[in-house]
A and B are shown apart, each in its own frame.
Chain A
Amino acid sequence: MNGKSEGAVYRAEKLDACIKCSACTAECPVARINPLFPGPKAAGPDAERLRLEGIYFDAKALALCSNCKTCEITCPSSVNITELIMEARRKAILSGANKKSKRYRLRALVLGRAEYLGILGTVLAPVTNFVLRKKAVRVLMEKAIGIGRNAPLPDYHRRFALNTHTDAKTKQVVYFPGCYSAYNDAVTARAVVKVLEHNGFSVLTPSFHCCGVPLQSNDQFSQAEANALYNLRLLVPYLEQGIPVVASCPSCTLSLKQEYPHYGGPGAELIAARTYDLFEFLWHLYENGELRLGFRPSSQIVAYHAPCHLKAQSIGTPVVRLLRLIPGLQVKDLDSGCCGLSGSYGFKEENYALGMEIGKPLFGKIKSGLEKADFSEVITECGTCNIQIAHGSRAKVQHPVWYFMKAYGLA
């Protein structure tokens, strides 16, 4: 069987695995609050059988999916639900299928009502202050356009970008900082580099473009692909030498692991196996006895929010394991679902209120935990979860790498 045929068989098998139990829809953070989104089962495996028949959905209904992958984590049958939805959306956008379907005019699934667009803005009244919303949208604009195109990279970035020559004598690692670290929280990116350097690595950072996740949320599928191919080209020489790639943002990591291999092109076959979540990487070092220990004790109790895109990586929560190596530090897993931002979904003006509503249970848990002094700080690896949680719960939120900075005496 050739590769193409194997891919077709794989897709067919995944689609066939759905037993229609609806657990995905019951857990979907978007379907719960937005009646216009048909839900992962309907938009994913149900619709896929119809799509094969030449009946398509309105891409606008598919665009309501936040790509958080909660459905895939929930599915007891390993159906690639989000992948089905994103692929359908990509095809619809790229082919302009909204205008010309094979057999039928397209309508939104559950609610192909004419007033569809009118309702969208009023599903939930915006609850928070306008200024913040503007700021959030600005971040999105930055991510989607600034980075997606050829925006100049910040200073620290260029410094490492120069350091692209491999040196066989020292251990090397390529760091993919991601837009958030690169543009919004450069100090955290520097902290990641310091922790890696502290462990004896020289850190290479070519001038990457945005990984593509936020572009997809904005229907810029060709731009996302172009970015991926660009990043892959930069990575090829390192991948071929077996140098690992580390990212500190779970959305970037997941995209490198899950989506880049599908784009084809040089490096596509190697990228997934060589890419590590930062803490997945550090845990490997620990297991191999290569992680520097001697952590300074801490007496803090921190609450941890596991980003959705980390849960989808099938690696568990290595950061929790590592933090528990720091003497005295206590970690509590919040386990309260999606924060509502999902990459950049919640940044979109029309999704802002939805995102805040999605995150409510999490914010509530954090607020009451802080009030009761169950914990003093909140940590999460994802930069955008970080913004959303800080915004929704007023808590101080940090990237967990700072705890290692402290424990190593680097901060």
Chain B
Amino acid sequence: MIVWDGIIIGGGLAGLVAGITAAERGKQVMLVAEGIGSLSFTSGVIDFGDFNALRDRQDHPFSHISEDQALQSVSKWQELCPFYTGSWAKGQPILTPLGEIRPAGYVPYSLSAQPLEAAREIVLIAPQGLKDFFPGLFASNLALNFPQAIVTIKPLQVDRFAQHYSLGKSILPSDYAKYWASVEGTDYLREFLMGIIGELAGMKEGLVLVFPGLSASFEPLLRDLLKSLTVSIVEPTIFPPSPVGMNLYQFLRKKFKDLGGEFLTNGKVEAAVIEEGYCPSISLQSHGKTLELKAKSFVLATGGIFGGGIQVGPRTIREGIFDCPLFIPEQWTSDGFLGPQPYTQTGIEVDAELHPLRSDGEIYLHNVYVCGRMLAHWDPWTDHCGGGVALTTGHRAGTMI
């Protein structure tokens, strides 16, 4: 049986970054993914929160990452995805799906809401039937947040979706996005946007268009189109499933495959062989057969509780593949739903090289590296460092293979 240099378990941001990093280093790697991972829920936003404060927090995943390493991961990311924008020193504003503003770290450039700060006229494009998008509420929030600008709503209809409109069926943002990325879609969009710019010719200086569900950053056709325009276009983040997140997933998966990595879909790793602190092989069920996969090292990036890597039952909590020891808080929940929740700290404690640790602090498995949401002692939603932990630890794990 061939022995892979590394097998990455989990196809979210951390796993993909680990896979790409290893493949770039000439390693023979396989990535096993159960499904699309968590990227479809985010809009490709990569946050680092208050990096130095989090780094100082004992056991926080950032405590294993130096600022230099984090910066390396970031520049690695920008090399991988040159269409990302952001700066280490300063956050930048982006729009939420409800049209409010929030600070963010690194985002696909079309998501940056910076142009709105100087806008005098904001036109909100409202594609008809776009699911989970409320133009009235969105515009009213824009007006609140950018009082210097006049906000108007410009409805948009596309022949391609005429049937949807007449049947009253809503259209997923990803369906619109896929249309915009096609040749016909881009042509249609060009004409539509030129029309608006023509109408508002006098306002050109301060005109900014807000366009939900565009996902312009990933598609060369759209990128070229936007570059050719004289006005700025800002995309808000999108209620899931987000086309930007899905495009990012596809982009990274393709990158991984192009580098020679093998991507195994529909694979749920269920067991691992463990011998004296090492794991020689893992196995998954493939329709009645057990598929055994050997590797020199493994990356565990199965997404924690949300991703299914940590299985929580009414009585038991366990990591499902290697049975890694877990940090489990004594108290499970607290009052305010969106406030700090103890259960979110559940995860695997690691050393500086991301090896899983036993409760006595010794290494549990010497050839397994843990990254992303599988790590203990953090909560992406209150620490505001979701993508940042995945990116830095995924990158780190990829260099360990």
Contact of A111 among B169, B268, B286 (CB under 8 A): B169
Contact of B266 among A23, A111, A314, A335 (CB under 8 A): A314
Among A74, A119, A324, max chain B CB count under 10 A is at A74
Nearest Cβ on chain A to B179's Cβ, whole angstroms: 9
Given contacts A22-B240, A257-B288, A315-B291, contact A77 B167 (CB under 8 A): no
Given contacts A76-B38, A312-B266, A335-B250, contact A23 B167 (CB under 8 A): no
Residue of B nearest to A258 (CB): B287
A291-340 residues at the B interface, CB under 8 angstroms: 311-317, 320-321, 324, 332-333, 335
Nearest Cβ on chain B to A302's Cβ, whole angstroms: 14
Contact of B288 among A261, A288, A361 (CB under 8 A): A261
Nearest Cβ on chain B to A362's Cβ, whole angstroms: 12
Residue contact B264 to A315, C-beta cutoff 8 Å? yes
- A35-B169, A314-B284 given; 8 more Cβ-contact pairs under 8 Å: A27-B174, A74-B35, A110-B167, A257-B287, A287-B2, A316-B265, A333-B258, A335-B253
Nearest Cβ on chain B to A256's Cβ, whole angstroms: 9
Asked if A78 lies at the interface with its beta carbon under 8 angstroms from chain B, I say yes
- Going nearest first, the 3 A-B pairs with the smallest beta carbon separation are A272-B288, A76-B35, A316-B264
Give the CA-CA distance A74 to B245 in the complex, in Å.
13
Give the CA-CA distance A271 to B287 in the complex, in Å.
10
Contact of A22 among B30, B37, B241 (CB under 8 A): B241
Asked if A153 lies at the interface with its beta carbon under 8 angstroms from chain B, I say no
Residue contact B287 to A314, C-beta cutoff 8 Å? yes
Residue contact A314 to B265, C-beta cutoff 8 Å? yes
Contact of B30 among A254, A258, A275, A316 (CB under 8 A): A316
Contacts of B117 in A (CB 8 A): none
B232-290 residues at the A interface, CB under 8 angstroms: 240-241, 243, 246, 250, 253-254, 257-258, 260, 262-268, 284-289
Residue contact A314 to B35, C-beta cutoff 8 Å? no
Residue of A nearest to B165 (CB): A35
Given contacts A26-B40, A76-B34, A78-B268, contact A314 B288 (CB under 8 A): no
Given contacts A25-B172, A315-B286, A316-B262, contact A335 B34 (CB under 8 A): no
Give the CA-CA distance A77 to B262 in the complex, in Å.
22
Asked if B130 lies at the interface with its beta carbon under 8 angstroms from chain A, I say no
Residue contact A78 to B34, C-beta cutoff 8 Å? yes
Nearest Cβ on chain A to B345's Cβ, whole angstroms: 21
Residue contact A316 to B263, C-beta cutoff 8 Å? yes
Asked if A61 lies at the interface with its beta carbon under 8 angstroms from chain B, I say no
Give the CA-CA distance A271 to B288 in the complex, in Å.
8
Given contacts A287-B1, A313-B287, contact A111 B167 (CB under 8 A): yes
Give the CA-CA distance A316 to B292 in the complex, in Å.
12
Is chain B's interface secondary structure helix, strand, loop, or mixed overall?
A: mixed
Residue contact B35 to A77, C-beta cutoff 8 Å? yes
Contacts of B109 in A (CB 8 A): none
Asked if A72 lies at the interface with its beta carbon under 8 angstroms from chain B, I say yes
Give the CA-CA distance A257 to B287 in the complex, in Å.
6
Contact flags B19-58 to A (C-beta < 8 A → 1, else 0): 0000000000010001111101100000000000000000
18 contacts between A and B (CB under 8 A): A22-B240, A22-B241, A23-B240, A26-B40, A72-B266, A73-B265, A76-B40, A76-B307, A78-B308, A123-B163, A314-B266, A314-B287, A315-B291, A317-B263, A335-B253, A335-B254, A360-B182, A361-B178
Give the contact-size bracket for chain A.
35 or more
Give the CA-CA distance A356 to B253 in the complex, in Å.
25
Taking Cβ atoms with an 8 Å cutoff, the residues of B that contact A are 1-2, 30, 34-38, 40-41, 161, 163-164, 167, 169, 172, 174-175, 178, 182-183, 240-241, 243, 246, 250, 253-254, 257-258, 260, 262-268, 284-289, 291, 307-308
Given contacts A258-B287, A313-B286, A335-B250, contact A73 B35 (CB under 8 A): yes
Asked if A113 lies at the interface with its beta carbon under 8 angstroms from chain B, I say yes
Give the CA-CA distance A73 to B161 in the complex, in Å.
27
Residue of B nearest to A72 (CB): B266
Contact flags A36-74 to B (C-beta < 8 A → 1, else 0): 100000000000000000000000000000000000111
Contact of B241 among A26, A36, A110 (CB under 8 A): A26
Residue contact A314 to B267, C-beta cutoff 8 Å? yes
Given contacts A261-B288, A287-B1, A315-B264, contact A21 B41 (CB under 8 A): yes
Asked if A32 lies at the interface with its beta carbon under 8 angstroms from chain B, I say yes
A261-280 residues at the B interface, CB under 8 angstroms: 261, 271-273, 275
Contact of A335 among B41, B174, B257, B291 (CB under 8 A): B257
Among A78, A288, A316, max chain B CB count under 10 A is at A316
Contacts of A321 in B (CB 8 A): 262
Asked if A85 lies at the interface with its beta carbon under 8 angstroms from chain B, I say no
Residue of A nearest to B257 (CB): A333
Residue of B nearest to A19 (CB): B306
Contacts of B35 in A (CB 8 A): 23, 73-78
Residue of B nearest to A122 (CB): B163
Residue of B nearest to A311 (CB): B265
Residue of A nearest to B253 (CB): A335
Given contacts A73-B266, A314-B287, A317-B262, contact A110 B37 (CB under 8 A): no
Residue contact B262 to A27, C-beta cutoff 8 Å? no
Contact flags A3-21 to B (C-beta < 8 A → 1, else 0): 0000000000000000001
Contacts of A314 in B (CB 8 A): 264-268, 284-287, 291
Contacts of A72 in B (CB 8 A): 266
Residue contact A35 to B286, C-beta cutoff 8 Å? no
Nearest Cβ on chain B to A38's Cβ, whole angstroms: 9
Residue contact B40 to A313, C-beta cutoff 8 Å? no
Nearest Cβ on chain A to B339's Cβ, whole angstroms: 22
Contacts of A26 in B (CB 8 A): 40, 172, 174-175, 241, 243, 246
Residue contact A23 to B241, C-beta cutoff 8 Å? yes
Residue contact B34 to A313, C-beta cutoff 8 Å? no
Nearest Cβ on chain B to A43's Cβ, whole angstroms: 14
Nearest Cβ on chain B to A280's Cβ, whole angstroms: 9
Contacts of B163 in A (CB 8 A): 35, 119, 123
Give the CA-CA distance A293 to B40 in the complex, in Å.
42
Give the CA-CA distance A119 to B162 in the complex, in Å.
12
Residue contact B257 to A35, C-beta cutoff 8 Å? no
Contacts of A361 in B (CB 8 A): 178, 182
Residue contact A21 to B266, C-beta cutoff 8 Å? no
Give the CA-CA distance A333 to B38 in the complex, in Å.
23
Nearest Cβ on chain A to B213's Cβ, whole angstroms: 11
Nearest Cβ on chain B to A211's Cβ, whole angstroms: 14
Give the CA-CA distance A333 to B34 in the complex, in Å.
19
Give the CA-CA distance A320 to B40 in the complex, in Å.
27
Contacts of A78 in B (CB 8 A): 34-35, 268, 308
Give the CA-CA distance A26 to B264 in the complex, in Å.
21
Residue of A nearest to B161 (CB): A35
Nearest Cβ on chain A to B218's Cβ, whole angstroms: 13
Contacts of A324 in B (CB 8 A): 260
Residue contact B286 to A76, C-beta cutoff 8 Å? no
Nearest Cβ on chain B to A240's Cβ, whole angstroms: 16
Contacts of B172 in A (CB 8 A): 22, 25-26, 31-32
Residue of B nearest to A32 (CB): B175
Residue of B nearest to A113 (CB): B167
Among A32, A35, A271, A361, max chain B CB count under 10 A is at A35
Give the CA-CA distance A31 to B175 in the complex, in Å.
9
Contacts of B2 in A (CB 8 A): 286-287
